[in-house]
């Protein structure tokens, strides 16, 4: 055989062995996916974890790639998880309820955040005559349809003994709601941090109710698909444990975190500085009975006010990570 052929064969074998070696190195450990795709929203604790780079470091030893995908609010994130484009994300109480009652039955609760208290509010313009929720009778309130704000407003009205149709709901994205609020096209707005803080600082918006004032607490949740959570519980535990460590560090140093996030997200320091003091960041698992009962109350309200077409049993969509 000509020398050239031997050299060609040798080079071919070298390349093949190199590719095989690279594939072996890149192969994820047993019980871990090759890649984990995480959905985030502007004000959730995952934003700080992404900015830190520590999750990538933790997963690197298991040969897992981490990718991040940003969403404006919860409903599109649920759709992305249900479609198989995202593996995990955090949302408020409303999106997973709508998912279970509708076309996303594979979406499950895998962990939860502390009860929402001060990071979500119903605000009115600083010179508005509205003093409380009952004063909104016959007026317009904006929020994103299917967002945490949707059930927040409905629960606030239920607590105030108001009929669900006594207030005009205006379904707007956050950007459109901000414009409508500033121009006086709506009388109130249900808005989360950091947009809540931004609106206070920019317009002097006045708070008439925070989400922690509700008679039954509302929670944030970490959601995945039943298939992913069943196959990769170790990956979720690693993610949650890293998030808990990062959250503790962030909340212990709020101003430093505000500066860090301002540079990473483009949201001004003053906004983050105000928001961080009241954000309910954190992650807890498995999901407790108390949390399930509170979420069931929200689901019942969603059915009674025709947000969802049928009654659901929240417990059926809980997958416990232990």
Tell me the average pLDDT across 19-42.
Answer: 76
Angle at the Cα of 42 from the Cα atoms of 39 and 45, rounded to 5 degrees: 75
Q: Is the pLDDT of residue 203 over 80?
A: yes
* Superfamily (CATH H level) for 120-213: Periplasmic binding protein-like II (3.40.190.10)
**Same CATH topology for 35-115+219-317 and 120-213?**
yes
Domain boundaries, the chain: 35-115+219-317, 120-213
Q: What is the pLDDT of residues 254-285, one digit of tens each?
A: 999 999 889 888 899 999 999 999 999 999 99
Mean pLDDT of 227-250: 96
Please state, in angstroms and rounded to a whole number, the distance separating the CA atoms of residues 59 and 80: 22
CA distances for 41 relative to 50, 195, 198, 203, 291, angstroms: 11, 11, 16, 23, 22
Tokens of 160: 């105030």
Confidence of residue 25 (pLDDT cuts 50, 70, 90): very low
pLDDT band at 60 (very low <50, low <70, confident <90, very high): very high
**Percentage, residues of the chain above pLDDT 70:** 92
Per-residue pLDDT at 26 exceeds 70: no
Percent helix, strand and coil across the chain, each to the nearest 5: 50, 20, 35
What CATH code is assigned to 35-115+219-317?
Answer: 3.40.190.10
Q: What confidence score (pLDDT) does residue 5 get?
A: 47
Listed range (29-38, 72-81, 82-91, 143-152) with the worst mean pLDDT: 72-81
| pLDDT class of 11 with cuts at 50, 70, 90 | low
**Is residue 12's pLDDT more than 90?**
no
């Amino acid at each position: 055989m000509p020398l050239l052929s031997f050299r060609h064969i040798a080079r071919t074998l070298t390349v093949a062995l190199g590719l095989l070696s690279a594939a072996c190195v890149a192969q994820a450990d047993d019980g871990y996916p090759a890649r984990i795709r995480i959905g985030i929203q502007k004000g959730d604790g995952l934003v700080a974890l992404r900015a830190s780079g520590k999750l990538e470091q933790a997963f690197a030893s298991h040969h897992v790639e981490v990718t991040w995908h940003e969403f404006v609010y919860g409903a599109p994130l649920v759709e992305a998880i249900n479609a198989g484009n995202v593996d995990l994300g955090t949302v408020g109480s409303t999106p997973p309820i709508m998912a279970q009652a509708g076309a996303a039955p594979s979406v499950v609760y895998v962990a939860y955040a502390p009860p929402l208290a001060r990071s979500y509010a119903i605000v009115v313009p600083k010179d508005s005559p509205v003093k409380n929720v009952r004063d909104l009778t016959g007026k317009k309130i904006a929020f994103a349809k299917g967002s945490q704000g949707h059930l927040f407003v409905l629960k606030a009205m239920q607590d105030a003994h108001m009929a669900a149709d006594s207030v005009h709901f205006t379904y707007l994205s956050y950007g459109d709601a901000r414009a409508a609020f500033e121009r006086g096209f709506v009388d109130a707005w249900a808005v989360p941090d950091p947009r809540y803080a931004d609106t206070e600082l920019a317009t002097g918006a006045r708070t008439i109710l925070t989400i922690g004032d509700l008679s039954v607490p509302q929670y944030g949740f970490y959601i995945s698909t039943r298939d992913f959570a069943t196959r990769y519980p170790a990956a979720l535990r690693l993610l949650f444990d890293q998030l808990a460590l990062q959250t503790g560090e962030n909340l212990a140093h709020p101003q430093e975190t505000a500066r860090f996030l301002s540079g990473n997200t483009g949201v001004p320091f003053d906004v983050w500085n105000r928001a961080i003091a009241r954000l309910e960041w954190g992650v807890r698992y498995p999901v407790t009975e108390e949390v399930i009962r509170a979420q069931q109350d929200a689901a019942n309200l969603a059915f009674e006010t025709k947000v969802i077409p049928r009654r659901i049993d929240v417990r059926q969509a809980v997958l416990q990570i232990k």
